Amino acid sequence: MPLVTLSEVLQPALRNGYAVAGVVTLGWEDMCAFVAAAEAENVPLILQAGPGCRAHTPLPILGKMFVHLAERASVPVVAHLDHGYRFEECRQALECGFTSIMFDGSRLSINENIDKTGAIAQMAHQHGMSCEGEIGFVGYAEGEESLGTDPEESARFATETGIDAMAISVGNVHLQTNAGGLLDEARIQAIESVTEVPLVIHGGSGVPVEQRLSLAANTAVCKFNIGTELRQVFGQALRTAVNSDPERYDRVAILKDTHEPLMAATQRVLQSVTPQQ
């Protein structure tokens, strides 16, 4: 089926009490495993090209890869630009076939974040596509500290930008290598009480499975970004594949051995954000 927009998968999630995984891609092998897992679970999927992915592979190539996979998939697939920092980068993504763009203005002042995110959301909507914005800075494990989302500012941000999804900072951090502390559910409730937009949790790898399921079923959190958790599985599978036969040198054969472990891990992730109906 053809690519779909972020709104087309998040609005049903918001109405029906589940979430969709935004999986962070780095290359062809993980993209294929992610889509295969979504098909096996019969759930929608958001393929995300973040800054690291874009530094490795040009946007026009990534767009073609995403489109190719989506057109052959049996489930809805979103092509999403994750953490776009410049207007030009977001514009290029739309021209390359992406159906959703995330502008990250979380380090900016509230007024500048609203102005820039609103302009990019307008551009996305003119193309018939979706836009995710971020209010409140989500930090990094062993790095920059988070700045929690202010509920009153989030209400203004959602209304004035016209975004389709809002990433929030509620105790989540990027690059968490194990399940960390619980998210601040009181802050989430305060945010969703003054907004109507689907909410997004970046750094979803650090959120315990039980809380993912609970938030997906009972709150406006409709998207969990998952990267580190799956990259760890890929890395371990690659090490095993390389070490299993020191004489093997063909990288296609080696990388093929990562597919099954990564697909299985992705299925577990998808099950952790979509409660059984």
What CATH code is carried by the domain that includes residue 48? 3.20.20.70
**What is the pLDDT tens value at each position of the chain, 277 positions in all?**
779 999 999 999 999 999 999 999 999 999 999 999 999 999 999 999 999 999 999 999 999 999 999 999 999 999 999 999 999 999 999 999 999 999 999 999 999 999 999 999 999 999 999 999 999 988 777 767 777 899 999 999 999 999 999 999 998 887 776 777 689 899 999 999 999 999 999 988 889 999 999 999 999 999 999 999 999 999 999 999 999 998 999 999 999 999 999 999 999 999 999 866 5
Q: 1 in a domain, yes or no?
A: no
pTM of the predicted model, to two decimals? 0.95
In a domain, residue 225? The reply is yes
Residues 6+ apart with CB under 8 A from 192: 199, 219, 220
Which positions are annotated as active-site residues?
Answer: 82
Task: Sort strands 221-226 and 20-25 into parallel, antiparallel or unpaired.
Answer: parallel
Q: Which among 41, 73, 31, 23 has a CA at the least distance from the CA of 275?
A: 41
Residues 6+ apart with CB under 8 A from 12: none
- pLDDT of res. 142: 72
Joined together, the tokens standing for residue 237 give 């599978």
In a domain, 25, yes or no: yes
> Which alpha helices (H) appear in the chain, and where do they start and end?
6-16, 28-41, 51-56, 59-72, 87-95, 110-126, 151-161, 185-192, 209-218, 228-244, 251-256, 259-273
User: How many CB atoms neighbour CB 78 within 10 A?
Assistant: 27
Whether residue 51 contacts residue 81, with contact meaning beta carbons closer than 8 Å, is answered with no
Tokens of 212: 């993912």
47 three-class SS:
strand
| pLDDT value, residue 169 | 94
Phi/psi of residue 24, nearest 5 degrees: -85, 115
Distance CA 53, CA 66 (A): 13
Residue 47, in any domain of the structure: yes
Is residue 67 assigned to a domain?
yes
CB 241 within 8 A of CB 257: yes
Distance, CA of 20 to CA of 89 (rounded, Å) = 25
Segments forming the whole domain that contains residue 75: 6-273
- Would residue 124 count as lying in a domain? yes
For residues 120 and 240, what is the distance between their CA atoms, to the nearest angstrom? 43
Tally the domains of the chain. Answer: 1
Core vs surface per residue 244-272: b (16+ CB within 10 A) or e: eeeeeeeeeebbebbbebbbebbbebbbb
Burial class (CB in 10 A: 0-12, 13-18, 19+), 15: exposed
Task: Report the C-alpha gap between 135 and 199 in whole angstroms.
Answer: 11
**pLDDT for the residue 276:** 60
pLDDT value, residue 177: 67
**Listed residue (125, 109, 160, 132) closest to 48, CA to CA:** 132
- C-alpha dist (Å) from residue 112 to 93, 103, 197: 22, 12, 20
Q: State the Cα angle at 80 between 77 and 86, rounded to 5°.
A: 165
